[in-house]
Each structure stands twice: as structure tokens, then as C-alpha cells.
A and B are shown apart, each in its own frame.
Chain A
Amino acid sequence: MAAPPLAGIRVADFTWVWAGPYCTLQLGYMGAEVIRVETRTRLCVTRHMTPMADGKAGPNRSGYFNQYNQNKKSVSINLHCAEGIAVARRLALASDVVTNNFAAGVMDRLGLGYQELRKSKPDIIMITMSGFGETGPLREYVAYGPAQVPLSGLSALTGYKGGPPLHVGFSYGDPNGGVHGAFAVLAALYHRARTGEGQYIDLSQWETSVGMVAEGILEYQMTGQEPERMGNRDHWMAPHGVFRCKDMAEKVAGRSIDMWVSIAVTDDERWRAMAAAIGRPELGSDPRFATLAARKRNEDELEAIVTNWTSQRFARQAEEILQKAGVAAAIVSTNKDLFEDPHLNGRGFFVELEHPEVGVRKHTGPPWKMSRTPSGVHHPAPLLGQDTDEVMMRVLGYTAEEVAKLREAGALT
């Protein structure tokens, strides 16, 4: 049986919150040994965040932490003292990759910067995923997930027609920065495997986010105008929107009344199929709607017709009828819909492992499958500091006495 793609690769993971842990989660899915460096006196904020299992607070009970730290190990080191920093340095030098998402300069101040580490280990790979990058006039600025979305330009492009810029509903810059960071680390590992050379990666979460609005940047230059916000509409498809459903009026037991169906009609042929499917075949050739240009001209009227049809059907019925006609349609899922979804459950997307404090909770796993090499989740998220002794002795070669002494001195917590 083949080994996982990153078998034998060790990551000293100084990241926290979401962006960095999302990066190392990807590496862990592929078999890297990811060792999270935590400090008991300054816990990762996600260990404090709700929801907590069964509503009981505790650093090992947070759903957020337990989702994005699957497969990882946790060592608890006090980075506020010299002995603790010395342990962290030894861990970094025993690793192939060092990751962090501190603001620019923090690792340097700890004596754990790239220039310092490479003196002892020339082929080390290090990535910093900061908000603004390591250079440039704003390099010291602080970035928080929710504020990254408006900063990136995504808010200016997202919103209802005639309305103000809006958010996208989650801290998109974090997972987006993290997953691009994982790709960069893999590229560096590939380069190292072929040449023996390590390197440093400077990732700015702002820049990875701006990459995601490239069409807006180009539209501005190509037309001389800021792009217009247009709700769920699309210049090249109609109907294209999110429509209310009968669920809203019916208040079906146990189901949020807030239920919608999304529909995207790609071309005239699909429009004719949709018109037939909603029992209005004549609309397929109606001059008001027969072509994309006509549907765009009469889009308010078109959407009223669609809404009239969807609001008399439950979202899942509408989805099924339109899918049968070959039209892209899907419910607007809640977290509960995803949790219960037969497709996701049938494909084995979810991971159900026993966690010592919170038991079996259904977490999401990698969004891909590899046919030959093992991958995925083999271990739930770590309890705080659960692997300190094992890593100290097996990985770093400390003796049990040395570990006890460091613990007494407060370097291990």
C-alpha cells in the first residue's frame, strides 16, 4: 500500500485563528505531521469560540477549533520565556516546514525568523500568511477576517441593485489565504524534493483576496467604470437568481421558514426546457423571453413569473422539477441541510471520529478524494497540549527528566 503524499513531512505550525490552521489542515489531510505550537496563557481564540459541545465551555469543546485542527498534534509551550522559545526553535529546526500567520516581524522578534532558522537548516521552508505581507508601507497593519472582505474589493462588487456594498457573510479572506498558502508550501516542497533548496514564502491575505476579484479589476480598466452591483443577477444568464419558496408560508415542522431555491439558466435552450417544466411552454418562444437579450430586457417580469411558480412549491420540489429538465437549480442550504444531505453523507464527505472530550461529532473532511495514496482524517483535533511529552521526547530527543525540568520552569505549560 502506498504512503500518503506527504508522509515523513513535519510541519511546525505556529498559526492560529482560521487562515493558518486552514492551510495546515490541507497538509495534514495528505499525511504531513502537523504539530501546533500553542501557549496556554494565550490560547487560540477559536478554542474560546461558540458553539461549544453541549453548551459547556472548555478549550477542547469548541466546534470551530475541532473542525479546522483535525489530524494535528498540540504541544503547549510558553513563548514568553527563553527556555520555551529554545524548545520552539528546536521544534522548528526538526521540521521541514514552519508556518505562521502573525503580523509581519513577529517571528523575527522571537528569534524564529527565516534568516535565523536557515543558518542552522538551509533547506527549511517557511511561510508567513500575514494580512498585508512582509513588505510595503502597510506591512504592520492588523487584519481581521470580517474587515478583509471589504478591503479586498469584494464588498464593493457584492450587493443588491441600487444598494450599498455588502459583505459576503463570512471571513472569506481567511480560508482563501490559507488554501493558497497550502498550495505555495506544496510548490516549495516539490522544488525542495527536486533540488534540495528551501525557501521563504510571503503571503498577503489581502493580495490573495484581490486575486478573487480579478474580473472587477479588469472591468474597471476595460470600461472606465466601477462595476455595478446587481444582486444575484448575471450579465450572461437569465433567469439567474434566488427565489422564495412555499416553505416560507408553510412553516414545515422542524424546518426554518427561510427557504429559497437558486436557479441559473445558461442559454435559450435551457430556458425553453424550464418554461416547459413550469407548465408555461409558450414562454419559451415568447418574444419577451426567447433570447438572452430579451430576457435581460424584461428581467423584472421574468423574475415575477419564476417567483410565482417557486412560491407555490417547496424548495426541494422546485429543485427536482428543474433538475429533471436539465436546468441548474439547487436549494439554498443551511448548515442543517448539509449535515443531513444524502449526497454528502453517501460520498463519505463527513468524518465521525471519537474525540475524548466531545465524543463523535460530524465534521467535514477534505473536499476531494485520492485514488491511490491514503488521505483524509485519521485523528480528531487535539486536546490542548496533549502531545507535548511525545513530541518533546520522540521528535526532539529530550529526556523525561529534561521535560520535567522544563515543565517546572514554566517553559512547558
Chain B
Amino acid sequence: MSGPFANLRVVEVGELASAPYASKLLADLGADVIKVERPGVGDRARRRGPYPKNQPHPEKSGLFLYLNANKRGITLDIFQPQGMQLLERLTADADVLIHNLPPPEMDRAGLSYDRLRANNPRLVMTSITPYGLSGPYRDRAAEELTLWSQGGLTYLNGAGPDTREIPPLKAFGQQAGYQGGVHGAVATAGALMAQLRDNEGQHLDVSVYEVCASQLELTYVYWPYGQRVASRLGAKPVQPLEALECKDGLIFLCCVEDHQWNAFVELMGHPAWTDEELFRGRGRRTANWDAGRLFVQEWLNEQTVQDLYHKAQARRIPFAPVSTMGDLLNSEHLNARGFFVEIRHPEAGACKYPGPLFQMSRTPWELRRPAPTLGQHNREIFVDKLKLSDSEMAQLKDKGVI
């Protein structure tokens, strides 16, 4: 069996998370992805951790190793004319180019769809950029934090009603990057369907800012439907809907629907306070939750997380533990499904990585190789594939193109 994209040739010019994640999704389903990195320094993800024992090393970044397994890697300076010409040759027989050079860098390198299309009208080019390829913010500088914030998500999180002096809080990690990547992969896969049908490519313009703003649940529509600013401040729409302490850790209580609250009351042994006028019905219970929380907390002080989790779920109450990384790695359920996959990397050693994020019955996820070391496949690509001679290689190396 081979992946659904086993016939695809993909070139990635990507840094950090967005474009690398988009091409990882294709690579994990069989595509042959050639990752292009800057000579000498490589992808920025190599210079972020996590690192074994916190010792920075460009071949040992956990973020890089996760995002780039299953790819081959070359070095190429596309900001030099000869580098750009080699990229043109590489994409001449490729199906897809995925990149996340922001527009000013595209201009500087001379990277454009028209240019690459001239050699290959079938090419799908996916540009994943902070603000898209048009509009007044096209050339702005952006990072993960500023995109998540400008996209409307940071505003929703953090301080509670009494702590408005505390700044709103970004979600951990590279979420804007990952979302830019997976939304870009969706658009790319759509364009591949059209490529299969029409034998023609096209240019995809993916804006990470817009990706963030696409995920605001009901908070965006509060403006066009209710002229209300949706805020992290103020009371929750329903309670309990929060993490509280058990004897041995945090559990997230979640009673959105009445039957869930009623089942929770039974689980607690139907204590008398739950029959008080103050807590009857969702509206009053939510309004008076500062008091209700005290009663529940007293009961939780005697519970353990796992025991309560399973007892609640047996009654169809959607509580969940606040998982640590250790909890996840040790989860019987995740391990029974084969979720974690051990990857051995020549420099970084063996670690367990998240494997298939979905299971396809006929074309399963597969691990073929660990992430490339910097320039690992230069010879394979430049000499074997593009037929550069040894003297050409030496000359390109001298100039720092490779």
C-alpha cells in the first residue's frame, strides 16, 4: 500500500511552521517533498527548541524534527540569481510548490507564479503568507504572536472578570502557523483535484491572518448579528465550565446541557445544596456559581482525577482531565490506537512523535525517513536529478548558492 499522494512531487521553501506543516501533511501521505533551506543556517525552526537537555543544536530541534520527517532536504540560496534558476529547474517537473516567504521576500528573490508557470503550467503554487498577497497590510512584519492576536484569538483568552489588568494570553506554540499550514494543505489538495481533471495548475494565496479570523466560533458573529464585542472578560454563559482541583490534579468540569448537570448531581450523591433555589435551573446556577463552586470544590477535595473522569463519562458527562505531556505519552487509549510513533534521528536520537492525526483505511499514514540534516540530499538532487557536474557544484558552493 502506498499513500494517496505517492505520485506527487512537491518542493517546499518553508520556515518555522506554516508551509512546513502543509507539506508535512502531503509527505505523510506519500508525497516526495524536497525541502529547500538557506545554506549555512537552514530553517528558523532549527534555531528554536525544544532541544535535548536544553542544549541548542541545529540538528536537534524538536519542532524542526516533527515538521520535517518524511522529507528530503537541500540547501539553496534563492536570493541569488543562480539559486532562483535552480529552483525553477526543480519546479519544472513538480506538481506543487509550497512556500511561506512573505511578499517583500518574494519580491526580493524574484519568486512569482508567472515565472515558474512559464516552465510548468501544471504547477500548483501555494503561497502561505502573513496577510496574503494583496491589501494594505501585504508587506507588514508578522510573527506567530502578532497573527494570533490580530486574528482575534488572543483577545478571547486569559484573565478572568476581576483581573482585567492582566494581558490577554496567546495559546501555546505555533497554532497560527499550524492552522496556516493545514488550511493551506486543504486548498492545495483542492487544487490538485482540479489539476488531475484539467491538467493545469494555479496560484493559491493563503492568508494566515484570515485563517485565524476564520476560527472565531460564535465570537466573530456577535458583531454582525448583535453589535456586541465578544470578550474574555465577564461571566461565562454556563457553569460549571472550568478546571478545578481534585486531590491529585485538575479536572475540567463541563455541564453545558441540563442532563449533564443532573447526572453530575447524581454522581455527587445528590447533595442537598443542589436543590436550593439558588442553583435551580441553568440560569440561576450559572449566575450563582461563585457559591456553587465552593460546594463542588469541597466535594472535589475528596476525588481523584482519573476516577472522577471515568465515573463522569460512564454517565455521559463530558468531563476531561487537564492532561500533562506525560499523561498523553502514557495514555492507554492513544497508545492502543498507535498514535505515537518512534522516530530515530541520526543526531537527535529516538523520541516518540505524534503520528497519524487521522486513520485512512486504504492509504495509511507512513513514516519513511526522519527529518533531513541540513543539505543531506544535495548530491541526490543536484547531481543525480538535475545533472550538475562536480565543477558546477564546487562553483555553486564557493558562491554560497548551495
Contacts and interface: CB of A to CB of B under 8 A. Distances in A.
Given A154-B171, A165-B243, A241-B167, 15 more contacts: A5-B193, A63-B222, A141-B318, A153-B324, A188-B360, A190-B196, A211-B357, A226-B324, A231-B167, A243-B167, A364-B216, A367-B207, A368-B205, A371-B202, A373-B191
A101 interface: no
Main secondary structure of the interface of A (DSSP, over half): mixed
A373 B198 CA distance: 10
Interface residues of A, number: 152
Contacts of A221: 329, 351-352
Interface in B23-62: 25, 29, 47-54, 60, 62
A385 interface: no
A14 to B, nearest CB: 17
Contacts of A231: 167, 169
Given A133-B337, A242-B149, A372 B322 contact: no
A370 B333 contact: no
A137 B323 contact: no
Interface in A119-147: 127, 132-133, 135-139, 141-144, 146-147
30 contacts: A49-B218, A52-B226, A67-B220, A132-B333, A150-B322, A151-B320, A164-B243, A166-B169, A169-B154, A170-B153, A187-B3, A190-B193, A201-B358, A203-B359, A210-B328, A212-B175, A215-B66, A220-B324, A222-B53, A234-B145, A242-B145, A258-B155, A328-B140, A330-B146, A343-B131, A347-B134, A364-B214, A368-B184, A370-B190, A372-B202
B219 A170 contact: yes
Interface string B155-176: 1111000001111111111110
A373 B203 CA distance: 10
A368 B206 CA distance: 4
B194 interface: yes
Interface stretch (B72-80, B228-236, B271-279, B391-399): B228-236
A262 B51 contact: no
A183 B186 contact: yes
B193 A189 contact: yes
A7 to B, nearest CB: 9
Contacts of B360: 184, 187-188, 199-201
B358 to A, nearest CB: 4
A326 interface: yes
A226 B197 CA distance: 49
Interface in A27-78: 30, 49-53, 55, 62-64, 66-67
Interface string B319-358: 1111111111100111011010000000010011110111
A329 interface: yes
B268 interface: no
A106 interface: no
Contact of B146 (A132, A193, A264, A344): A264
B109 interface: no
A369 B204 CA distance: 6
Interface stretch (B249-257, B284-292, B295-303, B373-381): B249-257
B87 interface: no
Interface stretch (A86-94, A275-283, A333-341, A401-409): A333-341
Interface string A287-305: 0000000000000000000
Contacts of B153: 168-170
Contact of B222 (A232, A264, A335, A371): A335
Contacts of A146: 241, 252, 254, 256
B149 A258 contact: no
A31 to B, nearest CB: 9
A218 interface: yes
Contacts of B361: 199-202
B135 interface: yes
Contact of A368 (B207, B231, B319, B325): B207
A215 B358 CA distance: 19
Interface of B: 3-5, 7, 25, 29, 47-54, 60, 62-63, 65-66, 113, 131-132, 134-137, 140-158, 164-175, 178-179, 182-187, 189-194, 196-198, 200-211, 213-226, 228-233, 241, 243, 250, 252, 254, 256, 313, 316-329, 332-334, 336-337, 339, 348, 351-354, 356-363
A2 B199 CA distance: 11
Contacts of A160: 158, 166, 169
Nearest to B236: A146
B4 A190 contact: yes
B138 to A, nearest CB: 8
Nearest to B26: A187
B62 A172 contact: no
B62 A63 contact: no
A358 B225 CA distance: 9
B356 to A, nearest CB: 8
Contacts of B202: 370-373
A150 B150 contact: no
B143 A220 contact: no
Nearest to A223: B54
A346 interface: yes
B202 to A, nearest CB: 4
B47 to A, nearest CB: 7
B243 A155 contact: yes
A152 B323 CA distance: 6
A369 B205 contact: yes
A326 B141 CA distance: 6
A223 B214 CA distance: 35
Nearest to B158: A166
10 closest Cβ pairs, A-B complex = A63-B221, A169-B157, A218-B62, A169-B156, A219-B50, A63-B225, A367-B210, A191-B4, A186-B189, A372-B202
